[in-house]
Amino acid sequence: MINIQKPLAGALVALGVLASGVTFAQNALPDGRSAAPIENGVYPASYFPNTEILGDAEMRITALGTGMPNQTKAAVSISFYVELGNGDVFLFDVGTGATGNLFSLRPDFSKVDKVFFSHLHVDHVGDFMGLHVGGWLSGRYKPLRVFGPSGSEKELGTKAYVDGMSKAYAWDLATRTGALPDEGAKLEVTEFDYMLENEVVYQENGVTVRSWPAIHSLDGSVSYSLDWNGLKYVFGGDTYPNKWYVEYAKGADIASHEAFLPPKALAKYFGWDLSQATYVATRIHSEPAAFGKVMSAVEPRMALGYHSVLSPENYQAILEGVRSTYDGPLTLARDLQVINVTKDQIVVREASIDDYALPPAVSDEYINAPRSAEKETSAKVQAGKWDGYTPPPMPDK
C-alpha cells in the first residue's frame, strides 16, 4: 500500500494575477512562502525553488547533473531541466543521480512528462526508472513521454531501451498500479531517426525541438535545439566536434556542449595511461580546446560546458583549454546551477536547496485520476502474518 500525500494548504498549482495584470502559473509552493516576480531584471543572489515567478517571455534552465558516469555528491550524471514562461517543462537526459536534484526543486510533476534522450549511455539515461516511478508517485497522472534516437540496429534504439527497462521493473509497476493513477504507469515512446538533420521531433504549444546527429561511441547519439518565443536552447549530446552542431546551434541563446577533461587531466583523474585518455578525450568526446573551437564558430550568447567533475584541478585544466580557443561568454556548469534567459539578459546562479526537501504537493486531478483495483499478496503469503502484531484500525477515508 502506498500512502498518497494529501495536498498541503496553499501548495496547489494555481493561477494568479499580478498587480500589473499579468497572469502566471504558480508551482508547488512551500508553506509560508509566496512567489514573487523579478522586478527590473534584478535577481536574488541565489535561486530558491518555486519562490520566483518565471516571466511569460523567460526561460529557466537548471543543470540537474553535469558530471561523469562515476557520479560524486557534487556532480551526478547528465540532465538539464528547462522551464518556459508558458508553463511547459522539458527534461534533456536523466543520467544516474539526477532525479535527486530534480526532486529537490519540488516541481509540479504533472508537468514533468517529457524527457528527451541524447543517447543511451547510463550517465544520460540511468535515472529513467526513477523519473518514471518517482514522478508518478509525486503528481504525474498521465503517461511519461520519452523522445530519443534510433540506433544502428533495432535493439540499440530508444524504444528497445524503454521496453526493456519497463519489463525489468514490471513487479514495481504492478505493485503501484491501483494505488497510483493508472495512466501514470504508461510510457509513450517517440523514436526518431538518429540521422535527422535539424528536423522537428516535437512541436506543441509554440515549442519546437529539433535533432541532429552527434559522433560518439556508436551511431545513435544526437543533439537537440529547443526554440520557443524567440529563445533558443541547445542541448549537445556526447560528441566529437561535429559540423551539424556548428551549423544548427547557431543563433543559440544558451549552447550547451560537452567540455570533457583534457587528456593529461583525464589520465590523472582516472589513473589511465595517456594514450587511453587521449583516445577518450579527443576521439569519443570533445576536449575543452575542441569545445572552445566549436563555440568560437557558433558564437552563442552563452556557451555552457559540462560533462566533468569540477574539482579545483579539473576546473583549472578545463578553463585553460577552453580559453585557448574561445574568449566569449562562458559557464562551466555545476549541478544545480540555474540560468535565467530573457531577451535582455542571461543570469547564472546557484540553486539553494533543502537536503530534506519534502515531496511536492499533488493536484486534485492527480488525486481523482482513475485507478484500477489495488492488489494484495496471495492467501498463502497472507497466511504467514504473525499473530504477535495487530495493526491499528484503518481511519475513515
* Pick 123 or 191: Cβ nearer Zn ion: 123
User: Which grid cell is 32?
Assistant: 509560508
How far apart are the C-alpha atoms of 61 and 252, rounded to whole Å?
Answer: 13
H or E element: which one contains 18? none
Shortest separation between residue 248's beta carbon and Zn ion, angstroms: 20
* Pick 128 or 366: Cβ nearer Zn ion: 128
User: Which grid cell is 42?
Assistant: 534584478
Phi-psi region of 224 (alpha: psi -120 to 50; beta: other; left: phi over 0): beta
How far apart are the C-alpha atoms of 320 and 20, rounded to whole Å?
Answer: 46
Q: Scanning the structure block, which residue is given the C-alpha cell 583523474?
A: 269
Q: Scanning the structure block, which residue is given the C-alpha cell 533543502?
A: 354
Which position among 238, 253, 287, 335 is part of the footprint of Zn ion (CB under 5 A)?
A: 238
How far apart are the C-alpha atoms of 64 and 71, rounded to whole Å?
Answer: 12
Contact 152, 213 (CB under 8 A): no
Q: Which stretch binds Zn ion (CB under 5 A): 137-145, 238-246, 354-362, 374-382?
A: 238-246
Residue 127 touching Zn ion (CB under 5 A): no
* Pick 62 or 66: Cβ nearer Zn ion: 66
Shortest separation between residue 217's beta carbon and Zn ion, angstroms: 6
x/- string (CB under 5 A) for Zn ion, residues 180-219? ----------------------------------------
Which position among 60, 106, 114, 121 is part of the footprint of Zn ion (CB under 5 A)?
A: 121
Which position among 123, 127, 287, 335 is part of the footprint of Zn ion (CB under 5 A)?
A: 123
* Pick 48 or 270: Cβ nearer Zn ion: 270
Shortest separation between residue 98's beta carbon and Zn ion, angstroms: 12
Contact 141, 181 (CB under 8 A): yes
How far apart are the C-alpha atoms of 49 and 352, rounded to whole Å?
Answer: 8
* Pick 123 or 127: Cβ nearer Zn ion: 123
Q: Which stretch binds Zn ion (CB under 5 A): 171-179, 233-241, 270-278, 381-389?
A: 233-241
Contact 69, 96 (CB under 8 A): yes
Residues that contact Zn ion, how many (by CB under 5 A): 3
Q: Which residues lie near Zn ion (CB under 5 A)?
A: 121, 123, 238
